[in-house]
A and B are shown apart, each in its own frame.
Chain A
Amino acid sequence: MPVRIRVAHLYPETLNIYADRGNIAVLERRAAWRGIGFDHVPVGIGDAIPQDANLVYVGGGQDREQALVAGDLVGKREMLADAVAGGAALLAVCGGYQLLGRFYRDRNGCELPGVGLLPHFTVAGERRMIGDILLRCELDPGEQRTLAGFENHAGRTFLDEGAEPLGQVVHGFGNNGEDGFEGCRIGRAIGTYLHGPLLPRNPWLADWLLRQALAHALGTSPVLTSLDDTIEDTAHRVAAGRARARGGRG
């Protein structure tokens, strides 16, 4: 029985501003190189999220595009909550990360409801936080890793009390430029502002997501064969160097 994972990609036609398809390409190739089947399921406005999805991906869009899908995404709340509660993995980047929070408060103080899947809220900010960013993460106990990306957001996101961030900011702004946290994580679900795109230069996170998706598909936690990541590792070092040299400061 060949091993396969199903990936639900939300709004690929609309939320794709920061090269989100790069993240999908990395997941797909790294699965294929290991003989893992990869079903890419685009999910648009009005479409259902497949119940057997092992991984859900939500990208980012310009303001107009985010507004176009926001209502539909909130309508998918139950399906998303069921998927994540059932152990599917999730990656939401930038706009997708904001939309999955509890609400977004705009400049006039109006609160637009979010999906409420991730324990955070976002407040519109005056100044955009733009630049290279480096995080320190520990998704599995004892395994310290770094993530190098690029951030570009005006929204300032605040985690609820006790919520787990994706990582600690080493260089850059992070969620809000104040508390040193970046992203949000509940179990196998991750939201983050990091794009660039995120996964090509952080292949360990791509593999982490693949392992979570496989664990959901198979019910057991698989060991992935290692790949030649020479170029990826150099790209990571260069990007980390950029964050050190010119990442934003809160």
Chain B
Amino acid sequence: MPPCRENGGMRLAAEIALARTVGRLSRLAGRGGGTTLPGKLLVALDPGAVRRLAAELPLGAALVSATNGKTTTAAMAAEILGARHRLAHNRAGANLLSGVASTLLEARGVAALALLEVDEGALPDVARQVAPRTVCLGNLFRDQLDRYGELELVAERWRDAVASLDPSAIVVVNVDDPLLADLARGRERVLRFGLDDPSVARERLQHAADSKYCTDCGSPYAYEAAYVGHLGDYRCPACGAGRPALDVAARAIELDGLERVSFDLVTPEGTARVELPLPGLYNVYNAVAAAALALALGATLAEAREGLTRFRAAFGRFERIAVGDRTALVLLIKNPAGANEAIRTLVAGGSPPVAVVALNDEIADGRDVSWIWDVDFEPLVPGLERLVASGERAEELALRFKYGGLDPGRIEIVRDVGRALDRGLELVPPGGQLTVLPTYTAMLALRGVAATRGLVRPFWERDPAGTDPARQG
């Protein structure tokens, strides 16, 4: 039991009761599941509440942050660790301080370990308050420049956050990302992960690659293998600095279209073959990150392998939704690196003839839509018979494809996301699959439509163990 400071326990209990009531009311009122409102209230009432709630957890807290893949990585780690511990996990993706507060509140007295996905901008603040025993850092890509500023500003804030962690905390870090490898340097308790299979590397760095200059001397890196964006096996030809040795790695990677990917998970505990029921190299990164994190938290290699094999897509991340006799395959896109990998995976599985792409420009999407021009949509163009451009900035997206070489006669603009879904499904033959690529708030709108029609359960009701029948492909 934590010590009771100045009646803090009593005060916290009263605040918690109030905040929980707000959560129930919010859900009853149909407002987005009430996943952040109680936390917002609690943080406003008592700025120290998160610190105390986290301190109550018998096994402490682990944080997962990254530009891309944090929701999936955290969900995979939850699948692995859920076999052993009761978890507090913000699986609906409420990843700011208020979402963390809500999650800790909801799981108080029940959970032993908190597994928290954290927004990359919020990481320093959340880490300060939660005092995690493990932090998993996945990657930093250019994303929403209007919100966070430039990549290196975020990296500097992460550097400070890592430096202020307790020395006993373990940093699980993707050293295929040069910026992240650099900020964990010199720390004692570090678990380094990455990919180690040049046969699946890209031929060259993609257009929008970030962080391609040596963190020591500024010369461009030479890549032995570039896997996703600037992530890979790099070395500076000028000063010789390169990727550190990997503690946890994926080798012998086999990509199998849109269905799955298998790989050897190589760890200090030994090697296991993992059959991951999700496609794409970026999901190998997520899986290796989750496995490394779980191992750092005491899971066994067998548990890691089993958890990853059981895993089903987090919502909107390669999720299949059955609609009558057709299927919608939903892939969230939110920045160039993530979108490029989604497209690369799609095209490898057979280029889709019909796609709905929905672009919104709310704060969560990024108000600056220029990032769509850094996405390599071109590989989709030759196979596309019909594009339904949707969302609040549907025309910008239509222009992206028009100037990317798609005949404008093949483009339809349907701004409303629900109607665009219907139109897309109409264009697909019975038994066929519609590809849907929404930005974040467009995905939420789409899920709202799907939930209203009873196609999926609202996200706050979903079973974290992956047994939700609505999302079994």
A residues in contact (CB < 8 Å) with B: 16-19, 21-22, 25-26, 29, 62-65, 68, 128, 130-132, 150, 152, 195-197, 200-201, 228, 231-232, 234-235, 238-239, 242, 246
Which chain B residues lie closer than 8 Å to A16 at the CB level?
Answer: 207-208, 374
CA A22 – CA B370 in complex, angstroms?
Answer: 9
Q: Is B408 an interface residue (CB 8 A)?
A: yes
B399 to A238, Cβ gap below 8 A?
no
Q: What 9 pairs between A and B have smallest CB-CB spacing?
A: A19-B373, A22-B373, A235-B395, A19-B370, A200-B399, A25-B403, A62-B150, A234-B395, A150-B368
Interface residue from B368, B408, B411 paired with A196 (Cβ < 8 Å) = B368
Cβ-closest chain A residue relative to B399 = A200
B368 to A21, Cβ gap below 8 A?
no
Which chain A residues lie closer than 8 Å to B145 at the CB level?
Answer: 17-18, 152
Which chain A residues lie closer than 8 Å to B413 at the CB level?
Answer: 231, 234
Q: Is B224 an interface residue (CB 8 A)?
A: no
B373 to A235, Cβ gap below 8 A?
no
A63 to B152, Cβ gap below 8 A?
yes
Q: Is B404 an interface residue (CB 8 A)?
A: yes
Which chain B residues lie closer than 8 Å to A150 at the CB level?
Answer: 146, 367-370
CA A196 – CA B400 in complex, angstroms?
Answer: 11
Which chain B residues lie closer than 8 Å to A25 at the CB level?
Answer: 373, 403-404
CA A233 – CA B249 in complex, angstroms?
Answer: 50
CA A232 – CA B149 in complex, angstroms?
Answer: 28
17 A-B pairs with CB atoms under 8 Å apart are: A16-B207, A17-B150, A18-B145, A21-B207, A21-B373, A22-B373, A29-B403, A65-B213, A200-B373, A231-B399, A231-B413, A234-B413, A235-B395, A235-B396, A238-B395, A239-B396, A246-B367
A231 to B370, Cβ gap below 8 A?
no
Q: Is B246 an interface residue (CB 8 A)?
A: no
Q: Is B371 an interface residue (CB 8 A)?
A: yes
CA A203 – CA B396 in complex, angstroms?
Answer: 13
Cβ-closest chain B residue relative to A236 = B395
CA A62 – CA B155 in complex, angstroms?
Answer: 13
Q: Is B243 an interface residue (CB 8 A)?
A: no
Are A64 and B368 also in contact (CB < 8 A) when A21-B207, A22-B403, A235-B395 are? Answer: no
Q: Is B142 an interface residue (CB 8 A)?
A: yes
Minimum Cβ distance to chain B for residue A228 (Å): 7
Which chain A residues lie closer than 8 Å to B367 at the CB level?
Answer: 130-132, 150, 242, 246
Cβ-closest chain A residue relative to B375 = A19
Beyond A29-B403, A200-B400, A246-B367, 19 additional pairs, beta carbon < 8 A? A17-B145, A21-B207, A22-B400, A25-B404, A63-B152, A64-B152, A68-B218, A128-B149, A130-B368, A150-B146, A196-B370, A231-B399, A231-B402, A231-B413, A234-B395, A235-B393, A235-B395, A238-B396, A242-B367
Minimum Cβ distance to chain A for residue B54 (Å): 32
CA A26 – CA B373 in complex, angstroms?
Answer: 11
Q: Is B385 an interface residue (CB 8 A)?
A: no
Which chain B residues lie closer than 8 Å to A239 at the CB level?
Answer: 396
Q: Is B151 an interface residue (CB 8 A)?
A: yes
**For A26, A195, A200, which residue has the most chain B Cβ atoms within 10 angstroms?**
A200
Minimum Cβ distance to chain B for residue A23 (Å): 9
CA A209 – CA B347 in complex, angstroms?
Answer: 36
B151 to A62, Cβ gap below 8 A?
yes
A195 to B207, Cβ gap below 8 A?
no
Task: For chain B, residues 139 to 167, give those with C-beta under 8 angstroms from any C-beta of chain A.
Answer: 142, 145-146, 149-152
A152 to B207, Cβ gap below 8 A?
no
Minimum Cβ distance to chain B for residue A180 (Å): 22
Task: For chain B, residues 163 to 194, give those with C-beta under 8 angstroms from any C-beta of chain A.
Answer: none
Task: For chain B, residues 407 to 433, give those with C-beta under 8 angstroms from any C-beta of chain A.
Answer: 408, 411, 413
Cβ-closest chain A residue relative to B368 = A150
Interface residue from A68, A130, A238 paired with B213 (Cβ < 8 Å) = A68
CA A64 – CA B155 in complex, angstroms?
Answer: 13
Which chain B residues lie closer than 8 Å to A201 at the CB level?
Answer: 395-396, 399
CA A235 – CA B403 in complex, angstroms?
Answer: 14
Task: For chain B, residues 376 to 411, give those with C-beta under 8 angstroms from any C-beta of chain A.
Answer: 392-393, 395-396, 398-400, 402-404, 408, 411
